[in-house]
A and B are shown apart, each in its own frame.
Chain A
Amino acid sequence: MSTVQEFSNLLIDNIEKVIIGKRSSVRLIVMGLLSKGHILIEDVPGVGKTMLARSLARSLKCSFNRLQFTPDMLPSDVTGVSIFNQITREFEFRPGPVMSQIVLADEINRATPKTQSALLEAMQEGQVTVDGITHKLPSPFMIMATQNPIEYEGTFPLPEAQLDRFLLRVTLGYPGKRDEVRVLDSQDHHHPLNDLGSVVSVDELLQVQEEVKSIYVAPAVKDYIVDIVRQTRIHQDVYLGGSPRSSLTLFQVGKVRAAMEGREYVLPDDIKAIVEPALVHRIIISPAARLRDLKPERVLEEILGQVPVPGGDLFKKAV
């Protein structure tokens, strides 16, 4: 059993003690973590987004901060400010909430674009610049931003260019009936998060992140990835298809998924499994299709059903 598989199983099992019945979502978040990416969680309030982030941080023994975005937030509220120290007579940097290893950016679409972009710069560059001084962010660094898909009033929807920077988009959704009952049971006396210990170390995480890079991707699978992304660009109901970064995402996350399965190479099935979380926030449905209430998830499903898998049906030539 590979260490990646061991690592991710430990982590997921641990988180599952708190977040009950959401194994696939948890898996996706772990995939994002191992791919050094950031996650966009899109869901209604109260399904456990914060708990998920906190239990992840706890399991890793990472520093954790939560940012609740409001329209009056300023970029310095995110990154931190330099304050004049009277005693030393120097400007001193007071780190903002973003300067921790796992950051939960709640309701990111409520902040003004200016504030949003400050966060996104941090996400992209792994550093923040305050008053001309660049401060490196800790490692590992992962932002889990949440969006409420219901309430749009008074929000500033993230532009596509910025959505593209999130590696995966994850939904949690309501738990099943039994799971919800178990949630009640588990919180009978106290919150299970308080019992949650760390199961893996940050060092191990960094090591595992390196290990994932050695996973082999066959030319046929690379073709398959590109075929899928190209198909999103020519699909009639899609206004804007996936970028090359989408292909790259499929490539990286595919490797992680393969490693988590204990495999040394990526299968088309790995790609199939991650197409939706990796692409759904990156494509824009054409206005006409939106009128028909066509969801991007549906389009991706259709594309997956069309693009032939290399090596699947040997008598059909690839597109």
Chain B
Amino acid sequence: MSSIESQVTPKTLSHPYRWDWIAAILLIGMMQSLGGRLTATEWVNNIEITLILSFWGCVAGLVLGISNFSSLGVLFFSSVYGLFTISRQLGLILGSGIEWAERLVSLWGRYKVSIHAIINQESVTDPLLFLTIVSMIVWVVSVYTGVALVRQRRVWRVVLPGAIGIMVINTYSYQDDISARFLAFYIFLILFLVARLYYLDRREDWQQMRISVPFHISFDLLIGAVLTSALLVIVAWNTPTAVKEFTSAEETWDRIITPFKSATDRLDNVFAALKSSVGFVRVGGVKGYYGDDIQLGLGIPQTDDLIFTIEVPNILTTEPRYYWRARYYDSYQDGRWTNAKIKTQMMRPDEFDISLTTYNAPWEANIKVTTHIPLSTLYAPSQPNWVSRPVELEVNPTQDDFFEIVAMHATPPLMVGEVYEVQVSRSDITIKDLREAGVNYPVWVTNKYLQIPESVGERTKILAEQITSNADTPFDKATAITEYLRDHIEYLDTVSEPPEDVEPIEWMLFDSQQGFCNYYATAEVMMLRSLGIPARFSVGYSQGETSLESAERPALGGNIGEIPGDFMETTGDKIVYFVRANNLHSWPEVFFPAYGWIEFEPTANQRPLLRPLDDEDLDLSSADSEGQGASTDDRFGLDDQLFESEFNIPEDTDSFIGRPDSPIYSFGAFIVVIGLAAVLWWGMRKVRGLPPISIMIEKKLQKSDIPAPYLLQKWARWSSLSAMERAYHSINRSLMFLGETQEPAASPSMRAKSLASQLPSSSDVILELLMEYQNWLYGGQLANVRLSRKLARSIEKQAILEKIRRIFSRST
């Protein structure tokens, strides 16, 4: 790619550059004020990246301007570099220490969600799309002005884009003094730059006329320019503004935009992230944040909105089901769970150095979570070891310098569509293991997890002892309590408020005998603790349904949103769980020495949590990997009826494009990219007068002495034809189609007459088209393209019909 530019315009050769470093610095300053103005709007978080982008864009523009690249080359390199820089900056806002692949995946996920929202005419809550668009505009403007400063001789091309930018920003975000300050600064720089460039221009002339300019004069001129610019700006700012004119201008503007109201309404959706901006983007607006206390509450019915999808490697075939834990609590008092002595610690994925208490857990697995709502607290199945996001960890000290993770809060929070990974340790625990675990509890466990408030009295303890009278081991006791709660407490979405002076748990156990998961779990924890078995209260989501099940199993009815995921046999290497708002759950976790915290399921609307009896069971089930549900059900004594009645698949009412992760989005993105490229190409053609792509390819081939393929030649020829010629070509095409070849020397009228004799029925149409074409081509008259196209279509249609007619008449 040679520098065609400079060869074509000898003027540029004689004065290669009409700029100097002062002009370049002024330009950078101008672009910085554009970025600064944007930052000052505080439209979205992280908008300050525009400052960085405007700087590097400007530098890139200047460098590309100096380079020998043709405009096409400049465009190419600035786009590539811009793409790189913008994605880098956007990736960086996700926080430090994350792997780059993950950053890109997260950004991509967020884009998909935003585009999905736009398509469905919903509000886009994620500011990312806006930030991206703004970044791109800033990048384009700063690169363009950089190139323009070096290569163009017109100052307005350098100063106008940024000025328009600042004006537009001021229109949308009018902050009295900030707007004025940035605009004033920008205009000052403009004046200064104009003065500088004018001086440089003069200097060239002086040099040509052999007038020597001493250095101090140029310095004086510089100072003069600064002072004049400053003076002008100050004078302009202090001139009283005619307020009346502004109001009338506003009215005019209103009149202009009224017809576009519907279009702007739709656009508003795209930028909804801004309107709700300041509050939403910050942590407070993000759902799913569990603080350090929780009330048992009265219950709120939940929707079936998707919260997140979780991808789990399918290696734990006999694992009991997953509980997506947000956090756990250790202290209970009057219907309120809290944590005692929590430490917080910031963690980055690449420096995740914290000593965690480990248990007998041979499996390590990476679990991938895709968010469908903004998330602050990250969810993970039990024993997370590492997470791929920077997080604020809440930890409980155990012993020596070891800790247990209470909760993980992502900083910054995750937006919709982002992805995080959690590494967890799991084990195949059997009932036999748990029975043999013993009661040798460490001190840190007994210190913290046997706490019972005084308000929970003897009654509960007696009830617990009654229930567990036949049980020997802690596991059997926990199982007995679980069974008791499942059998005796009625599940209700919402409960009425317990009386003032009554402990809510006792009231539930002995009086109302109704409740939801929080009550079940708290009751179990309290009863276990009263028996000296350490237990704690965990919150989060239950497993949700899997992609596999919803695809393979028929809906069986029933009303409870849980699917048997236990002992699932799958053929794929991954299982995807869809977790919805109505999977919100809480459950007790019981401590077993060497095995750690084990979940139990006392809530009646959930399926019972079943574990394999012993190692034999484990072997059996893994050997029987082809086995059907029935055999495993039998083995574990699962009641078929229970199974069926609780087995429910929420109907997938989403449309084809309903899910942001459906392939149509990737395809759509591809189309959008192609479309953008086409628009870009078209624009370049218009601006630079480039020939159509086919002709460019043909020329390239010709240059390298490769004969262009016939089809390419035809394409090139076709793309160089005008609309009228294309319409007229229908006559030639029809002639060819009807098997009549014409010499190149045949004039259009000869061809038309020949076709008219072949198609007597449409001879009028043919002659009309001929007239249009001749009037245009030979008569120099304006073409009626629309009419001609219509005529051409009709002719071609007639030709095809005629051809068909001939085929049939020949065969009969």
Contacts and interface: CB of A to CB of B under 8 A. Distances in A.
B691 to A, nearest CB: 15
Given A218-B778, A264-B779, A265-B780, A309 B744 contact: yes
A308 B745 CA distance: 4
A269 B750 contact: yes
A154 interface: no
Contact of B748 (A218, A265, A309): A309
Contacts of B744: 308-309, 312-313, 316
Contacts of A308: 744-745
A218 B729 CA distance: 19
25 contacts: A218-B777, A220-B778, A221-B778, A263-B779, A265-B774, A267-B749, A267-B778, A268-B747, A268-B748, A305-B745, A308-B745, A309-B746, A309-B748, A310-B777, A311-B748, A312-B744, A312-B746, A312-B747, A313-B744, A314-B717, A314-B725, A314-B728, A314-B732, A315-B732, A316-B744
Contacts of A216: 779-780
Interface in B713-746: 714, 717, 721, 725, 728-729, 732, 742-746
B751 interface: yes
Contacts of B729: 314
A274 B769 CA distance: 25
Q: Which among A272, A304, A310, A311 has the greatest number of chain B C-beta atoms within 10 A? A: A311
Contacts of A304: 745
Interface of A: 216, 218, 220-221, 263-269, 272, 304-316
Interface of B: 714, 717, 721, 725, 728-729, 732, 742-751, 773-775, 777-780
A197 to B, nearest CB: 37
Contacts of A309: 744-748
A210 to B, nearest CB: 20
Contacts of B746: 309, 312-313
What 7 A-B pairs come out closest when comparing CB atoms? A308-B744, A265-B779, A268-B747, A309-B747, A316-B744, A218-B778, A313-B744
A315 B717 contact: yes
A315 B714 CA distance: 7
A269 B721 contact: no
B716 to A, nearest CB: 10
A216 B775 CA distance: 11
Given A267-B749, A313-B742, A316-B744, 19 more contacts: A216-B779, A218-B778, A218-B780, A263-B779, A267-B747, A267-B774, A268-B778, A304-B745, A305-B743, A306-B745, A309-B745, A309-B746, A309-B747, A311-B725, A311-B728, A312-B744, A312-B750, A314-B717, A314-B725
Contacts of A220: 777-778
Nearest to A265: B779
Contacts of A307: 745
B780 A269 contact: no
Given A305-B743, A308-B744, A308-B745, A314 B778 contact: no
B438 to A, nearest CB: 92
A221 B742 CA distance: 19
Contacts of B743: 305
Nearest to B781: A265
Contacts of B779: 216, 218, 263-265
Contacts of A263: 779
Contact of A269 (B725, B732, B747, B777): B747
A305 B773 CA distance: 22
A311 B780 CA distance: 13
Nearest to A271: B747
Nearest to B735: A313
A263 B714 CA distance: 34
Nearest to A317: B717
A266 B774 CA distance: 9
Interface centre among B714, B717, B774, B778 (most CB of A within 10 A): B778
A272 B773 CA distance: 19
B778 A265 contact: yes
Given A216-B780, A220-B778, A311-B778, A272 B721 contact: no
Nearest to B717: A315
B694 to A, nearest CB: 13
A267 B779 CA distance: 8
A218 B780 CA distance: 6
Contacts of B714: 315
B749 to A, nearest CB: 5
B619 to A, nearest CB: 76
A316 to B, nearest CB: 4
Nearest to A218: B778
B17 to A, nearest CB: 42
Contacts of A313: 732, 742, 744, 746
Contacts of B777: 218, 220, 310-311
A139 B610 CA distance: 122
Nearest to B773: A311
Nearest to A228: B745
Contacts of A218: 777-780
A269 B751 CA distance: 11
A188 B117 CA distance: 98
Contacts of B742: 312-313
A230 to B, nearest CB: 15
A263 B777 CA distance: 14
Nearest to A310: B777
Contacts of A266: 778
A312 B751 contact: yes
A312 B728 CA distance: 9
A272 B744 CA distance: 14
A267 B776 CA distance: 11
A213 to B, nearest CB: 16
A316 B728 CA distance: 15
Contacts of B725: 311, 314
B664 to A, nearest CB: 40
A264 B773 CA distance: 14
Contacts of B748: 268, 309, 311-312
